[in-house]
Amino acid sequence: MDQMQAIIANLSKHITPSQEAQNYFLSLLEQKEFARKEYLLREDQACRYFSFVVDGTFRAYHLNKEGKETTIMFAISDWWITDMPSFLHNKPAKVNIQALDHSIVLQISKTNLDRLLEMQPVFEKYIRILMQNAYTREQIRVLENLSLPASERYQNFLKKYPQIASQITQKQLASYLGITPEFLSTIRKQFTQGRIS
Amino acid sequence: MDQMQAIIANLSKHITPSQEAQNYFLSLLEQKEFARKEYLLREDQACRYFSFVVDGTFRAYHLNKEGKETTIMFAISDWWITDMPSFLHNKPAKVNIQALDHSIVLQISKTNLDRLLEMQPVFEKYIRILMQNAYTREQIRVLENLSLPASERYQNFLKKYPQIASQITQKQLASYLGITPEFLSTIRKQFTQGRIS
């Protein structure tokens, strides 16, 4: 029951559901395991699940027509991940979500999430806070992508997500920052040599 | 009471509050008018309000250390606008929000929003949907910014936001797309000449 403890701890940060509401929520979850490099979601599929990472690491990336790979987001334990536009509107996903390690998730389908919100509206607050945090994070990212040099975005990433930084390759990080691996390597050397502080 | 009708129509798209809940919500709103070029918010102030645009147009932009202006978002009538990280966490705002025309808004303060959600939890659903839509929009924007050429992002903007496109300058649109006005002008000429379809 460790998996359930992990998601209950996440819930408890934001809401205090009744035992009945909590049990109902838990009854709607499906546990799934992914081997390293296995896909939770493939581009062009409809994304059926909103997934809570109990253990492991995921990377969501988009492959454009020219074959250029762009990292959209990462998720580590205690984070939720999905292709939100696809999940909400049953449209083809724009991202691939791949496990970077052996990973365990708890998933809720769109149908079950709708049911949960209808039957136990206390979960509206929980989802509202998740969405609010996600929106805030993306708004800051848009602002930083458009206004900060890559070296500062790199620094901010390390400060905000030290746990993620330690689990991904430099190539993946470069593609998240929207720069080439070569340029990231130059930035890292500048830091090491103390030329940027 | 036209202003109130506008916000009730927006509410009604997502929830059906009781008359009492709706009246309570309306009682928490403050109406404000802004002249063309007047600021709803200045960078480094704490953003105290979540603002519903009844009439008019706003632009949110960030000025970086080098004086480069970046358009973060626009809002027209029937949209909400704020600096979300600043509003939620009472931190200095990262954006300036300026009226592009004479504009009328209905504002709710953070204190009153917290009170509303506590007293009338039906509004959790409303705010959850607003946050969900905002998150989805920003996630698509991050993806497009990192993976699509500027000409396609320009096309997508015109398709998604025709009403906004007709109310802003080319310079403002270029800064939203993260390109120079000169490059936007080149793209527009290519469209006119049918070289991109």
Is A132's CB within 8 Å of B88's CB?
yes
Residue A121 has pLDDT above 80, yes or no: yes
* Residue of chain A whose Cα is closest to the Cα of B134: A135
* Nearest-CA distance A33 → chain B (Å): 26
Residue B173 has pLDDT above 70, yes or no: yes
Q: Across chain A, where does the E strand assignment appear?
A: 30-34, 39-41, 49-55, 57-63, 69-76, 80-81, 96-99, 103-109
Answer whether A88's CB lies under 8 Å from A53's CB. no
- The two structure tokens encoding residue A81: 């991940």
CA-only gyration radius of chain B, Å: 18
pTM: 0.92
Least confident of A55-59, A66-70, B4-8: A66-70
Residue A34 has pLDDT above 90, yes or no: yes
- Which residues in B have their CB inside 8 Å of a CB on A? 62, 64, 68, 70, 72, 84-85, 88, 94-95, 117, 121-122, 124-125, 127-128, 131-132, 134-136, 138-143, 145-148, 178
Instruction: Note the pLDDT of residue A196.
Output: 57
Answer whether A90's CB lies under 8 Å from A97's CB. no
Q: Read off the pLDDT band of A1 (50, 70, 90).
A: low
Residue A68 has pLDDT above 90, yes or no: no
As a whole number, mean pLDDT of residues B61-85 equals 92
Q: Closest to A131 (Cβ–Cβ): which among B88, B131, B140?
A: B131
Give the angle B171-B177-B178 at the CA atoms, nearest 5°.
85
CA distances from B101 to B32, B41, B52, B138, B175 (A): 14, 15, 15, 25, 19
Is A62's CB within 8 Å of B147's CB?
yes
Instruction: Note the pLDDT of residue A158.
Output: 93
* Nearest-CA distance B14 → chain A (Å): 13
Q: Which of B130, B174, B139, B173 is nearest to B13 (CA)?
A: B130
What is this model's ipTM? Answer: 0.91
Answer whether A73's CB lies under 8 Å from A81's CB. yes
Phi, psi of B46 (to 5 degrees): -85, 135
Residues with Cβ < 8 Å from B23, sequence gap 6 or more? none
Phi, psi of B102 (to 5 degrees): -60, 125
**In Å, how far from its chain's centre is CA B183?**
25
* Residue of chain B whose Cα is closest to the Cα of A179: B146
Instruction: Note the pLDDT of residue B107.
Output: 98
Residue A181 has pLDDT above 90, yes or no: yes
DSSP assignment letter at B34: E
Distance between CA atoms of B11 and B17, rounded to whole angstroms?
Answer: 8
Across chain B, what does the average pLDDT equal?
Answer: 93
- The two structure tokens encoding residue A14: 């934001």
Angle between helical axes of A122-147 and A19-27 (0-180°, round to 10) = 60
Answer whether A32's CB lies under 8 Å from A58's CB. no
At B133-159, the pLDDT tens digits run: 999 999 998 888 888 899 999 999 999
Instruction: Note the pLDDT of residue A65.
Output: 81
- The two structure tokens encoding residue A107: 């998933």
- Structural domains of chain B ordered from first start: 2-119 (2.60.120.10)
Residue B3 has pLDDT above 90, yes or no: no
